[in-house]
Amino acid sequence: MNFLPNTDKDREEMLKVIGVSSVGELFSDIPPQLRFKGDLNIPPAMSELELAKHMEELASKNTACGYVNFIGAGAYDHYIPAVVKHILGRSEFYTAYTPYQPEISQAVLQSIYEYQTMICELTGMDAANASMYDGASAAAESVTIAAGMARRKRALVSSTVHPETRAVIKTYADARDIVIEEVSYKDGVTDVECLADKLGDDVACVVIQQPNFFGALEPVDEISAKAKGAGATFIVSVNPMTLGLLRPPAEYGADIVVGEGQVFGNPMAFGGPYLGIMAVKDKFLRRMPGRLVGMTSDNQGRRGFVLTLQTREQHIRRERATSNICSNQALNALAAVVYLSWAGKEGLRQIAGQCVQKTAYLADRIAGIKGYSLAWKAPFFNEFAVKCPVDAGRLVESLLEQNILAGYPLGRAYPELPQYLLIAVTEKRTRQEMDALVAGLEGLA
């Protein structure tokens, strides 16, 4: 039988075989009010040549690749060396999925093991998993881990955590009856006094981001002390690129470290796919979701790599699982491994240092423009907020005409900040590009 129903006759035959009278019957489980009615506004079928031309026409409308990019807000325009793409294309790593059969999958398993080792070295934590779907889901899973361990149902999340991450945390928490309370910010960082007022013996965890969504460095030691004093798990979402210079989270008391690994060799790619970082202290090891690769030896004493510490409920009894995530982003994690191997310890430190230096230069230049000022006094890494004399959204639209992506208007996520612009700088930005942004801002003051 032809399994591609190209004609009405083919379609009728297929429906007959599976025992339904119409295509609509296949969607009977979906409530009628939620079903699409009418015809989809899509063109008729095309030949391969026609489709290729059509896709090229659509792609030509995307001009952002030729723009100078100062947008960060969770995805950053770092340089990706050619070796990353070269290694990703090798046949040993064709599959993006974590393999089950170690005897035929040693290359992928070893790459995951190396990834886990590198994440532990960067964060200072005891163990890391094979990666999560993205940074937001990693943060959400960490909250459920903390709530399950402590048998507490309240979690405090700083309002300076990425707004999309907060949304995902709330979605996960709702299904587990975990109450999420946001801690307000003050002067661009978490309001420690507000945090202290909300803490209690029913709080499972405190979640912060370092640097936070505004790019500011949080008072992590003070927040850690408050969380520990209340017996709460301290969860830190990091930009891992910063760990080339900043203290590893383990040094200021983090119990669980999560983050978005896009900065390590993964393109911005219109939102993904990315990889979520998760690393934990030993006491959380058995509750860590996803995959964990361990090193062992076979019966001949040869080194080998296998999946380990897997709770079978995660695969066959979902209702009893600590998490329903049974996979990871192996290919994206491989990109991170190759990137970190290429950079090395000193290289990562140099890249992070360039980000800091170039960001400081641009911040000083913008602060000197009449009508503009840095939003807060808190130190920052490679991202900072600017108060503008006009609506930040309109300013961004105006600079598009100069082929400049000026930044992220904070009013999109924080309605109280309509004139605030979040600007990111990576090692790719040149002095000429930064001076062009400054000139563009001056012209709009």
CATH number at 75 reads 3.90.1150.10
Dihedral Cα 256, 259, 261, 262, nearest 10 deg: 170
Three-class SS state of 306:
strand
Q: Which of 363, 360, 355, 414 is nearest to 386 (CA)?
A: 363
Query: Which stretch of 200-209, 220-229, 291-300 has the lowest confidence by average pLDDT?
Result: 291-300
pLDDT confidence band for 6 (50 / 70 / 90): low
Three-class SS state of 438:
helix
pLDDT confidence band for 2 (50 / 70 / 90): very low
Dihedral Cα 171, 175, 179, 183, nearest 10 deg: -20
Q: How far apart are the C-alpha atoms of 445 and 442, rounded to whole Å?
A: 5
Point out the domain boundary residue: 289, 319, 338.
Answer: 338
Tell me: pLDDT of 1 over 70: no
C-beta neighbour count of 439 within 10 angstroms? 13
Tell me: pLDDT of 65 over 70: no
What pLDDT does residue 169 have? 98
Q: How far apart are the C-alpha atoms of 383 and 385, rounded to whole Å?
A: 7
Centroid of chain to Cα 274: 6
pLDDT confidence band for 91 (50 / 70 / 90): confident
What is the percentage of the chain residues whose pLDDT exceeds 90? 74
Q: What is the DSSP letter of 132?
A: B
Q: What is the mean pLDDT of residues 58-81?
A: 88
What pLDDT does residue 177 have? 93
Residues 129 and 200 grouped into a single domain: yes
Query: Pairing between strand 203-210 and 233-238?
Result: parallel
Residues 146 and 216 grouped into a single domain: yes
Give me the chain's average pLDDT, please: 92
Single-letter residue type at 443: G
Residues 228 and 240 grouped into a single domain: yes
Q: Give the residue numbers spanning the domain of 106.
A: 82-338
For 93-122, what is each residue's pLDDT tens digit?
766 566 667 777 888 899 999 999 999 999
Tell me: pLDDT of 59 over 80: yes
For 186-216, what is each residue's pLDDT tens digit?
999 999 999 999 999 999 999 999 999 999 9
Single-letter residue type at 202: D
C-beta neighbour count of 14 within 10 angstroms? 16
Residue 407 in domain: yes
Give the count of domains, the chain. Answer: 2
Residue 96 in domain: yes
Q: What is the mean pLDDT of residues 44-63?
A: 89
Residues 325 and 349 grouped into a single domain: no
Residues 293 and 411 grouped into a single domain: no
Query: Which stretch of 3-17, 171-185, 287-301 has the lowest confidence by average pLDDT?
Result: 3-17
Pick the more confident residue, 322 or 257.
Answer: 257
pLDDT confidence band for 411 (50 / 70 / 90): very high
* Beta-bridge partners for 69: 405
Tell me how long the chain is.
Answer: 445
pLDDT confidence band for 314 (50 / 70 / 90): low
Query: Pairing between strand 203-210 and 154-158?
Result: parallel
What residues contact residue 221 under an 8 Å CB cut-off, 6+ apart? 252, 253
C-beta neighbour count of 142 within 10 angstroms? 31
Q: How far apart are the C-alpha atoms of 236 and 257, rounded to whole Å?
A: 5
Q: How far apart are the C-alpha atoms of 77 and 262, rounded to whole Å?
A: 10
What is the percentage of the chain residues whose pLDDT exceeds 70? 93
Q: How far apart are the C-alpha atoms of 314 and 288, rounded to whole Å?
A: 11
Asked if 66 and 405 touch (Cβ cutoff 8 Å), the reply is no
